[in-house]
Homo-oligomer: A and B are copies of this chain.
């Protein structure tokens, strides 16, 4: 592996794959911090807005420290921070900075989907934030593809940043839209996948993967198999492993035979791998992250 694939100016897929190779762990920890589930020691004290946001930021930074030697990638759920207004958004920038300092690849899971100058603005909000010390830049974002290329391309303009487009989500009600059959025999999700593959083909890195990836839920193995064929150049970001019900058999089809092509995400099963009163919660999180890396590394054939 050329070392320049992990530098800040590199193609995002090359950079992410280099980080995965180093740890032999094609996994991502999903940071979805909810105040009520934080360790007791962080929920002590008064219960005003600033205290809550501060507790969430402290937890997030401790979590980054606890997992950064086990996993290559952190997915930050924007909703958990935006829920607290501008103070939450400010804290999210601080957390992103801590993740970058720990050499984690950061995916900002904000699922934006808009067109024209609004899409440009959302891309800028992630990749070209205002020159303020609390802002930072994720390597990737998640986006919604329902508006077509107009809603996707603005996120692919920077050569070292990428986006994962929602193709097949892991939630129960997604079938009502995504699994509907078209008159050509494909499903709606497969049509979206075709769009993603087509748009992404203009942005391929040295390892053969595009800076436009795809979100493919871990609870739909049959769908994943077909989507893997339609999108050979897409990295799959695969949520739903663990708490949402996806298991080893469900995620296996997301990988290619060489063990590349997918990043399996687990959130609650890692970040809340402790009882609220457990003083050793950091160690429990590290252990859960190591187990995730081990388990998925074996499934992918990297260990």
Contact = CB atoms under 8 A, between A and B. Distances in A.
A268 to B, nearest CB: 10
Interface stretch (A143-151, A246-254, A258-266): A143-151
Nearest to A92: B86
Nearest to A195: B176
A66 B265 CA distance: 49
Interface in A136-192: 144-151, 166, 169, 171-178, 180-183, 185, 188, 191-192
A166 B150 contact: no
Nearest to A170: B115
Interface in A72-130: 77, 79-80, 82-90, 93, 111-119, 121-122, 124-125, 129-130
Nearest to A177: B148
Contacts of A87: 86, 130, 132
Interface residues on A, range: 35 or more
Nearest to A112: B111
A214 to B, nearest CB: 13
Contacts of A175: 148
Main secondary structure of the interface of A (DSSP, over half): helix
A115 B169 contact: yes
B148 A83 contact: no
B79 A125 contact: yes
A131 interface: yes
Given A118-B79, A171-B147, A180 B182 contact: yes
Given A32-B117, A113-B113, A177-B191, A85 B89 contact: yes
A134 interface: yes
Given A49-B131, A111-B112, A188 B195 contact: no
A212 interface: no
Given A79-B125, A111-B112, A121-B80, A188 B178 contact: no
A183 B149 CA distance: 24
A300 to B, nearest CB: 26
A70 to B, nearest CB: 24
A269 B150 CA distance: 21
A38 interface: no
Interface of A: 32, 34, 49, 77, 79-80, 82-90, 93, 111-119, 121-122, 124-125, 129-132, 134-135, 144-151, 166, 169, 171-178, 180-183, 185, 188, 191-192, 195
